[in-house]
């Protein structure tokens, strides 16, 4: 056995951590903890010989399909699955999109800590799934919208109030369309974004034309001016952050971009 085989060490470590009873397997008398190799192979629907060779660093590289089966058989988390692919193939697995899980109280508290800045969490298909008070007062009261309508692209092309809020609507709309295309495809959400694009194309000739341009945009920060109903023009700068442990989410934070905007926004939020 090759003790210097990182893939084999990882597989053995995860295999021995599993509780046979959790899979309905009688523990019986076992020389080592966890599942046996043949039990993992059966769960992964591969031969025991092939799985044994992988643990021993023999037999060459496994295919992505085999690694996916092993990941499922070992009940790996998403970070563990990615690590398995990096060890086995030298690359991360292809992105596969799943609907976001519920937002934890911890993440909501992070948003709420931005008292003077609008902050929100969005999915790769640009659905807004969490926000803070400043986002409600400065951008959009998402709580008043149905979950389906809390989508930035839908709002940009079908909500007159959101459209009037933009100082340069066409520029912002093109940014949203190009970023939506890039983010969704990167996250493996091609099917979901295609359905959304078909829907919006039927509703908005402007969206249809911009989508047909096939622009791809990836910008993590920038600046914009909004025409707020109570404050008038306010200058904001935005930054986008990855959420550790949540590849299905990105956090966007809008900070005042000038001292004048900062002072007026602070006074408004303090009311």
Q: What is the pLDDT of residue 99?
A: 65
Sequence-separated (6 or more) residues with CB below 8 Å from residue 13: none
Query: Which of 56, 40, 53, 49 is closest to 1 using CA atoms?
Result: 56
Decide if 76 contacts 95 (C-beta within 8 A).
no
pLDDT over 50 at 266, yes or no: yes
Classify residue 145 as exposed, middle or buried by CB count within 10 Å of its CB (0-12, 13-18, 19+). Answer: middle
Rounded mean pLDDT of 54-70? 87
CATH number of 6-89: 1.10.260.40
pLDDT over 60 at 33, yes or no: yes
Same fold, 6-89 and 105-269: no
Decide if 137 contacts 155 (C-beta within 8 A).
no
Run of H or E residues at 34? none
Report the distance separating Cα 7 and Cα 22, nearest Å.
24
Banded pLDDT at 2 (limits 50, 70, 90)? very low
Q: What is the pLDDT of residues 101-130, one digit of tens each?
A: 788 999 999 999 999 999 999 999 999 999
pLDDT over 80 at 94, yes or no: no
Report the distance separating Cα 185 and Cα 188, nearest Å.
5
Banded pLDDT at 77 (limits 50, 70, 90)? confident
Query: Which of 206, 141, 202 is closest to 177 using CA atoms?
Result: 206
What is the residue extent of each domain of the chain? 6-89, 105-269
Run of H or E residues at 256? strand 250-256
Q: What is the pTM of this model?
A: 0.70
CATH number of 105-269: 3.30.450.180
Higher-confidence position of 25 and 203: 203
Banded pLDDT at 97 (limits 50, 70, 90)? low
């Amino acid at each position: 056995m090759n003790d210097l085989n990182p893939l084999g060490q990882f597989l053995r470590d995860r295999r021995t951590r599993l509780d046979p009873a959790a899979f309905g397997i009688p523990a019986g008398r076992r020389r080592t903890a966890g599942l046996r190799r043949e039990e993992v192979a059966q769960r992964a629907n591969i031969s025991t010989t092939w799985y044994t060779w992988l643990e021993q660093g023999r037999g060459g590289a496994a295919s992505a399909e085999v690694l996916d089966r092993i990941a499922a058989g070992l009940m790996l988390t998403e970070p563990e699955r990615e690590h398995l692919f990096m060890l086995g193939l030298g690359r991360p697995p292809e992105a596969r999109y799943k609907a976001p899980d519920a937002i934890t109280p911890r993440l909501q508290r992070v948003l709420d800590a931005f008292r003077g800045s609008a902050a929100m969490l969005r999915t790769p298909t640009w659905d807004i799934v969490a926000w803070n008070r400043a986002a409600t007062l400065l951008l959009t009261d998402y709580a008043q919208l149905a979950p389906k309508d809390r989508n930035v692209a839908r709002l940009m092309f079908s909500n007159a109030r959101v459209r009037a809020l933009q100082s340069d609507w066409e520029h912002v709309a093109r940014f949203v369309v190009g970023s939506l295309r890039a983010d969704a495809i990167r996250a493996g959400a091609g099917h979901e974004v295609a359905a959304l694009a078909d829907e919006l194309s039927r509703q908005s000739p402007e969206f249809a034309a911009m989508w047909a341009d096939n622009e791809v945009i990836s910008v993590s920060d920038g600046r914009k001016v909004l025409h707020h109903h109570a404050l008038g023009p306010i200058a904001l700068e935005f930054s986008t952050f990855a959420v550790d442990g949540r590849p299905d989410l990105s956090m966007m934070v809008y900070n005042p971009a000038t001292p004048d905007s900062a002072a007026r926004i602070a006074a408004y939020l303090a009311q």
